[in-house]
Amino acid sequence: MKAAVRATQRNRTSRLLGAAALVVLLASTACEAGKGDGPDESTATDRPSATDSAPAGTSSAEPDESGSPNPTGGSSSTAGHGGGDDAKADGTAVCAEADLSYATTSQDEPGDQVRHLLLTVTNAGDKTCTVYGYPRVQLGADAQAPVALIKDSDPKTPATLAPGEEANAALLVSGGQRDTYEAHSISVVLQGRKHGSTASGPIGFPMPGAGPLTVDDGGRVTYWMTPSGLALDFIMSL
């Protein structure tokens, strides 16, 4: 009887010790799991530094000598003489110097001082092309600056020319202002698609008569547009 009691006590003691060991093991595991609370190096998200470099493929713009933005990185194309810009998505390219023929027509009565001119470019090629902006006109070798633009003449859309079609710009060579001089030439630079770019070098337009033009700093020119009458409306009353 006493042996049975002692065996029962030993079994109870073993169960108590086993239970105590299990409690200690669970407490130890919980403490180890608690060590990971809060941010650690493997999960923290770094904030971008203000000095991080720009992503590859982007470009910055710096002013060139003319004051126009000049891309200095990335894959942007630049406009040069003879076309400069790539073809548009619809296949229409910028009209280059070699694509066009040129004409100058006086709008004044014979014998009167020539003041009002119509500049015309005709697509002489076999593909459709677009003339952008306005002609940058220099009257004579002594001109101090290009002829000023009539901003209100902006047609909002560039002149796209199929083969044989023409675009026109009206040119007032003198507006009764100061600094009168004689011009023996009319030089025009075509603009590219991008603002400030060019699609040609200086192009000599034909003179409207045998003698020089009397010009001054009151000269004005319109944007290129297809209706000749619309272009002339901006200068004939001046």
pLDDT in tens, 71-109: 323 322 223 344 444 455 456 899 999 999 999 999 999
pLDDT of 191 > 80? The answer is yes
Sign (positive/negative) of CA torsion 153, 156, 158, 161?
A: negative
32-43 pLDDT, tens digit per residue, is 444 444 433 332
pLDDT of 145 > 60? The answer is yes
Mean pLDDT of the chain: 74
pLDDT of 21 > 80? The answer is no
* Predicted local confidence at residue 178, as pLDDT: 86
* Predicted local confidence at residue 88, as pLDDT: 55
Residue with tokens 């002609």: 135
pLDDT of 126 > 80? The answer is yes
Q: Which one is predicted more confidently, 134 or 5?
A: 134
Residue with tokens 């923290």: 44
What Å distances lie between residue 149 and 130, 163, 224, 231, CA to CA?
20, 27, 11, 12
Structure tokens at 86: 């790539």
Alpha-carbon gap, residue 94 to 191, rounded angstroms: 9
Structure tokens at 77: 């194309």
* Predicted local confidence at residue 238, as pLDDT: 94
What does pTM read for this prediction? 0.65
pLDDT band at 159 (very low <50, low <70, confident <90, very high): very high
Bridge pairing between strands 203-205 and 186-191: antiparallel
135 closest CA partner among 170, 83, 84, 91: 170
Alpha-carbon gap, residue 38 to 35, rounded angstroms: 9
Q: What does the pLDDT average to over 58-82?
A: 32
Q: What does the pLDDT average to over 179-202?
A: 96
Structure tokens at 59: 């470009």
pLDDT band at 225 (very low <50, low <70, confident <90, very high): very high
pLDDT of 160 > 60? The answer is yes
DSSP state of 168: E
Strand order through the sheet with 100-106:
100-106, 116-123, 166-172, 220-221, 148-149
Residue with tokens 């004005």: 220
What Å distances lie between residue 63 and 17, 60, 70, 72, 126, CA to CA?
84, 10, 6, 10, 37
pLDDT of 132 > 70? The answer is yes
Residue 130 contacts residue 162 (beta carbons within 8 Å): no
